[in-house]
Amino acid sequence: MDSDSSNIRLFNVSKRYGAKYALKDVSLDIKKGEFVALMGESGCGKTTLLNIIGCLHPLTDGEYFLDGENIGEVRDDYTLAFIRNKMMGFIFQQFNLFSRLTALKNVALPALYAGTEKGIREEKATSLMKSVNIEDRASHKPTELSGGQQQRVSICRSLINNPDIILADEPTGALDSKSGIEIMEIFIDLKKKNKTIIMVTHTAEVAKYADRIIFMRDGKAVNNNYKLTSNY
């Protein structure tokens, strides 16, 4: 494999909880700018895999290369936090916004952690919110926003430090199909901007937007290169 063009490369990665393997010998190679969907039945290890890629979890076995760098052994909080902050953006099914902060402050929070000056980070946050048409909701708290709007806020948050990789765990899972489609259209835009997107989903409707689908079963990647015919 050519690791130079690989954004993310896993080699025989396993994750064990006690005696039980949540992931077993998963190998995959995701190129920069690829949009990949992760599918499989509940409990097969999709979230676990996403968390490993997102450096939220240490892996039990195997190797993890990020931009050619072996980071599977890294345990240092400062480095891991830096990777999560600058190189990845997380999007969750339940949005996971801070209820006490306004939409704008939620979007700007990762930049606060990165040490970006207040003026700059809020300007960036505003322009991101403009790009997904929610700038008029900037001073509202998450509870005052619709599900679709909250998910767009969380997408903006994932983009504020301009990471290469977007990790989305069932981003449309809590939305109606119309809002879901709007989110997917944003993802297509992001792909055009050369972001690598890894998205967990249960629905073919959503998965068809991806370049390819990785199917998982019982902690294993059983098909790495499935393609649904897309209609976009």
Partner 1 sequence: MKLEIIKMALESLLANKTRTILSMLGIIIGVSTVIAVFAIGQGAKKAVDDQFQGLSANSILVMAMRGKTESSKLKTADSKVIVENCQHISSATAVIQENMAVSFESEDGTFGILGVENNYFEMSNIEIDKGRLISEEDMDNNEKAAVLGSGVAETLFLEDEEIIGKNIKINGKTIEVIGIVKETGRSMGKSSLDDSVFLPNSMAEKSILGSKAFIMIFTIADDVENIEIASKEIVSSLRTEHQLRDSQADDFRIMDAGAMVGAAQDAAALMSLLLTAIAAITLLVSGIGIMNVMFVTVAERTKEIGIAKAIGGKRGDILSQFLLESVVLSMIGGVIGIIIGNSVIFIFRNTELITLAPSLIGIIIGFSFSVLVGVFFGFYPALKASRLDPVDALRSE
The answer to the question of residue 48 lying near Mg ion (CB under 5 A) is no
Name the DSSP letter for residue 72. T
Crossing angle for the helix pair 118-131 and 103-113, to the nearest 10 degrees: 130
* Single residue of 5, 17, 79, 98 touching ligand ATP by CB under 6 A: 17
Counting Cα atoms < 13 Å in the Cβ hemisphere of 174 gives 16
Q: Is 54 in the site for ligand ATP (CB under 6 A)?
A: no
Q: Which does 45 bind (CB under 5 to 8 A by kind): partner 1, Mg ion, ligand ATP, none?
A: ligand ATP
Q: Helix 147-159 and helix 103-113: axis angle, to 10°? A: 20
Please report whether residue 152 would count as binding partner 1 according to CB under 8 A: no
Which of 16, 31, 57, 141 lies at the binding interface for partner 1 (CB under 8 A)? 57
Min CB(45)–partner 1 separation in Å: 13
Cβ distance 117 to 95 under 8 Å? no
112 binds partner 1 (CB under 8 A): yes
**Number of other residues whose CB lies within 10 A of the CB of residue 46:** 26
Among 157, 183, 190, 214, binds partner 1 (CB under 8 A): 157
Helix (H, G, I), strand (E, B) or coil at 132: coil
Exposed, middle or buried: residue 192 (CB in 10 Å: 0-12, 13-18, 19+)?
exposed
In the complex, least distance from residue 15 CB atom to ligand ATP, rounded to whole angstroms? 8
Tell me if 17 contacts partner 1 by CB under 8 A: no
> Of the two residues 27 and 116, which places its CB atom closer to partner 1 in the complex?
116
Q: Does 172 bind Mg ion (CB under 5 A)?
A: no
